[in-house]
Chain A
Amino acid sequence: MIPAQPWLPMPLLSILLLAVWLMLQQSLALGQVLLGGFLAIVIPLLTRRFWEHQPTIKRPWLLVRYILRLLGDIIVANLEVSKLILDPRGRMQPAFIEYPLELEELFPITILASTITLTPGTVSANLRQDRRTLLIHVLDTDDIPATIDTIRERYERPLKEIFGC
């Protein structure tokens, strides 16, 4: 990891901005790299005050594994939800679940909530004020504790490891 400097408060954000700029321009010309680099330094400096404290990513390789697993799960999720929608009998057992969070920082919680929305039959609906409970709507479940366990084991624990909290 690159340490943060006074002129570079969020190195990861800067790298991301530069990468996005170059991909949008579809070129690696010197002029584009310079302009992208300039934007990547100026934008974080200007927006620094609006950012919450960012937790550091302790284990980037686990993050890569997490993203790959997520992509696989998104495909499975789609097939399952499609099957449920197309099922003419429409036997669905929807439920609201109160999911007790183990994560504490906002950024990992945001990632977890987005993951839950993108994966099989679950949509995150509300984060309670105390940040301890996430309300989840499940499209079809017959075993609520099992659903909570799956989310805990498959997504929340890896996120805890990635951010080391």
Chain B
Amino acid sequence: MIGFYNLMEGVIACLLIAGGAFAFIGSLGLTHLRDIYMRLHGPTKTTTLGVGCVLLASMLYFSLVGKGPSFQEMLITVFLFITAPVSAHLLAKSALHQKLPRDPRTRGEIEELAEDEEHEANGDRLP
């Protein structure tokens, strides 16, 4: 007979494994993807869910073991969801400002990166 605590233990273990897997895939994206704009997708999405899973597991565990429900983890999740997009936005903005090269398959001509191509065409690109 599987008791309530065994069941919750299984749920917590699954959440931890899922969290670790998502965090790992996010980091894998950092090495695998081609340009900085694509690499940004890994840490912004998979890592938030990875940390979210781990925090949910921690919340469940300490609610069952400790005294009463634990809410601090929820605050971490909320702060993470607020700050992750902002840092990603700033990274993308500075990448555009530096006119970092993008993957040749990227479609859409944009004025933020336009000057670079002009320079290249004129052959006066800085080393």
A interface vs B, CB < 8 Å?
A: 20, 23-24, 26, 74-75, 77-78, 81-82, 85-86, 90, 92-98, 113-118, 121, 123-126, 135, 137, 139, 144
Chosen A-B contacts, 25 in total, with CB atoms closer than 8 Å, are A20-B75, A74-B45, A74-B49, A75-B49, A78-B46, A78-B48, A81-B29, A82-B46, A85-B28, A85-B46, A93-B107, A95-B107, A95-B108, A96-B37, A96-B106, A113-B85, A114-B82, A114-B89, A117-B44, A117-B84, A117-B88, A118-B48, A118-B81, A123-B37, A139-B41
B105 & A94 in contact (Cβ 8 Å cutoff): yes
Residue of A nearest to B110 (CB): A96
Interface-side segment among B3-11, B66-74, B117-125:
B66-74
Assembled-state Cα–Cα distance A135/B40 (Å):
14
Assembled-state Cα–Cα distance A144/B110 (Å):
14
Interface residues on B, range: 35 or more
Residues in A with CB closer than 8 Å to B84 are: 117-118
Residues in A with CB closer than 8 Å to B37 are: 94, 96, 123, 125, 137
**How many Å from the CB of A74 to the closest CB on chain B?**
6
B interface vs A, CB < 8 Å?
A: 22, 25-26, 28-29, 32-33, 35, 37-38, 40-42, 44-46, 48-49, 52, 70-72, 74-75, 81-82, 84-86, 88-89, 92-93, 95-96, 102-103, 105-110, 112-113
A94 & B106 in contact (Cβ 8 Å cutoff): yes
A135 & B38 in contact (Cβ 8 Å cutoff): no
Assembled-state Cα–Cα distance A20/B72 (Å):
9
Residue of B nearest to A114 (CB): B85
Using A75-B49, A96-B106, A126-B96 as known contacts, say yes or no to A90 and B41 having CB atoms under 8 A apart: no
